[in-house]
C-alpha cells in the first residue's frame, strides 16, 4: 500500500492545526501516513504546541531562515517519505474529508487538484468567488493551460511525477507557486483530475486579508511566467 505524506505549511495557526492533524489522521486511518507540519517560527508557538502534542504521525519542522509559504511547502516535500504527496492549508480552508477520494483517484491520474470552479465547487464569499473565477480565466488565457483553479493549492500527486518538475522554477513566493506548478505539470503532460471542492472555514485566527495585494502579486507572477516561457521557446527555436 502507498505511504501518504501530507504537508502543512503554518504561520500562527496553532488554534487550527492542532485540530487539523487529528482530523487528517482520522481520514487516513486505512493508509500508512505521515503529516509534516512546516512552521515559519510562528510567534503564537505553533511549533512547540505540535511538539507537545506528541502525535507519532506528526513531524513538526521549524524554519528560522529563508521563510515563506512556498519555501515551507518545498521543505515539506523534500522531507516527505511518502510516494503520494499531498499539500493543503493548515486552517481548515481545505476540507480533509476529500482526502480518501483524492488518494484513490491517483490510481487513474498523476495529480488530483481541488477546484472551486468545477461545477459543484464554491467559495463562501460571492465577491471573492467571482474575482477568483475571472482571474483563473485570465491565467488560462495567458498561459494556455486548462486548470480551472490555479490558486487553491489543495492537491495530491505521485512523487515520481512531481520529481520531474524543477523545484527552483516553482516553489518560491506565496500562493503564486500553484500557478507555476499547474503550468509545469501540464508542460510534462501529467494527467490531472480536477474535482469540485467547497471552500472550508477557519476555526480560529485570522487569514490573509490583503486580497487586492495578493491578486496583484499573482497577476505579476502569471505575466512573468508566460513571458519567461516565450523567451525560452525563442531561445531554443521552438
Backbone angles phi, psi at 92, to 5 degrees: 70, 10
pLDDT category of residue 233 using cuts at 50, 70 and 90: low
Sheet (strand 4-10) strand order: 58-62, 33-39, 4-10, 84-87, 155-158, 111-115, 192-196
DSSP-derived pairing of the beta strands 58-62 and 33-39: parallel
**Tens-place pLDDT, residues 90-131:** 999 999 999 999 999 999 999 999 999 999 999 988 888 898
C-alpha cell at position 176: 503564486
Q: Where are the beta strands (DSSP E) in 47-172?
A: 58-62, 84-87, 111-115, 155-158
Q: CA nearest 215: which of 138, 115, 135, 122?
A: 135
Q: CA nearest 78: which of 188, 163, 20?
A: 163
d(CA 32, CA 213): 40
Find the helix or strand (DSSP H, E) in which 7 lies: strand 4-10
Q: CA nearest 170: which of 191, 196, 188?
A: 188
- Judge whether residue 59 has pLDDT over 90: yes
* Percent share of the chain, pLDDT over 90: 78
Contact 174, 214 (CB under 8 A): yes
pTM of the model: 0.92
Q: Which domains does the chain have, with CATH numbers?
A: 4-235 (3.90.550.10)
Residue 6: beta bridge partners?
35, 86
CA distances from 46 to 11, 41, 51 (A): 7, 8, 9
Residue 234 has a pLDDT of 61
d(CA 225, CA 115): 21
Residue 207 has a pLDDT of 61
**Tens-place pLDDT, residues 18-55:** 999 999 999 999 999 999 999 999 999 999 999 999 99
Amino acid at each position: 500500500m502507498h505511504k501518504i505524506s501530507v504537508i502543512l505549511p503554518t504561520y500562527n495557526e496553532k488554534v487550527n492545526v492542532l485540530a487539523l492533524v487529528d482530523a487528517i489522521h482520522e481520514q487516513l486511518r486505512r493508509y500508512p501516513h505521515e503529516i509534516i507540519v512546516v512552521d515559519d517560527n510562528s510567534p503564537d508557538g505553533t511549533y512547540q504546541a505540535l511538539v507537545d502534542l506528541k502525535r507519532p504521525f506528526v513531524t513538526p519542522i521549524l524554519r528560522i531562515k529563508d521563510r515563506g509559504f512556498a519555501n515551507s511547502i518545498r521543505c515539506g516535500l523534500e522531507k516527505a517519505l511518502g510516494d503520494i504527496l499531498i499539500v493543503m492549508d493548515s486552517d481548515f480552508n481545505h476540507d480533509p474529508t476529500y482526502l480518501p477520494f483524492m488518494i484513490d483517484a491517483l490510481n487513474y491520474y498523476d495529480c488530483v487538484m481541488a477546484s472551486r470552479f468545477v461545477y459543484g465547487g464554491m467559495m463562501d464569499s460571492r465577491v471573492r468567488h467571482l474575482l477568483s473565477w475571472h482571474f483563473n480565466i485570465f491565467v488560462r488565457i495567458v498561459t494556455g493551460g486548462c486548470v480551472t483553479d490555479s490558486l487553491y493549492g489543495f492537491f495530491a500527486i505521485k512523487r515520481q511525477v512531481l520529481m520531474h518538475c524543477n523545484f527552483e522554477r516553482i516553489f518560491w513566493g506565496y500562493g503564486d507557486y500553484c500557478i507555476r506548478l499547474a503550468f509545469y505539470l501540464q508542460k510534462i503532460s501529467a494527467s490531472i483530475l480536477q474535482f469540485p471542492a467547497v471552500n472550508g472555514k477557519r476555526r480560529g485566527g485570522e487569514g490573509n486579508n490583503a486580497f487586492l495585494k495578493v491578486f496583484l502579486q499573482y497577476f505579476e507572477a502569471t505575466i512573468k511566467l508566460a513571458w519567461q516561457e516565450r523567451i525560452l521557446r525563442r531561445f531554443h527555436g521552438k
